[in-house]
Amino acid sequence: MYNVQVHVTYKDSVLDPQGQAVQGAVARLGFEGVDHMRIGKFFEMQVAGSDQAAVTEKVEAICDQLLANPNMEQYRYDIQSMEAE
Amino acid sequence: MYNVQVHVTYKDSVLDPQGQAVQGAVARLGFEGVDHMRIGKFFEMQVAGSDQAAVTEKVEAICDQLLANPNMEQYRYDIQSMEAE
């Protein structure tokens, strides 16, 4: 069993209006010096698989087919064996 | 200047219906062995500050006052100096 974390964010070339809105709210609350706010989604899951390579292949397929919109979003993932902990 | 990453997730005691919906969709796509799906929000930002302690204090205040709902959500953050890279 593997612990998998996936981050899905807008591509750098895509405007992030939600991030800009939150950045504006941060400034209106009086916090200075906060910039380049970007917001993304974060998925945590446990994935069964015979080895890290099999899990990696499965996670990439799930991201491509479901979690990320390939037109506007990019993803990255981190896979850790639960046995090693 | 510091690079800050904030993860906001539901507390473990709070049901995550969105995560359950995505887990169901993963299963319907034919991927087996995916469990304990939880979904959260992910914020990336650059924060100015004199030192790590000042930035930490600012980030915690921003999370408490804006990014996380203290009733239902928990947050964790990672702060890295951009000069060190």
pLDDT digits (tens, 9 = 90+) for B48-79: 999 999 999 999 999 999 999 999 999 999 99
Best A11, A38, A43 residue to mutate vs chain B (most B CBs within 10 Å): A43
- pLDDT average, residue stretch A30-54: 95
* Domain with A8 in it: 2-81
**Residues facing A10 on adjacent strands:** A73
pLDDT digits (tens, 9 = 90+) for A52-71: 999 999 999 999 999 999 99
Q: Quote the CA–CA distance of A24 and B76 in Å, as a whole number.
A: 22
- pLDDT average, residue stretch B15-31: 96
Which residues in chain B are contacts of A43 at CB distance < 8 A? 19, 22, 37-40
Confidence of residue A84 (pLDDT cuts 50, 70, 90): low
Sequence-ordered strand ranges (E) for chain B = 2-10, 34-47, 73-81
CB-CB under 8 Å, A7 with B42: yes
Number of domains in chain A: 1
What is the reported pLDDT for B83?
A: 78
Q: Give the 3-state secondary structure of residue B4.
A: strand
CATH of the domain at B72: 3.30.1280.10
Q: What is the ipTM of this complex?
A: 0.86
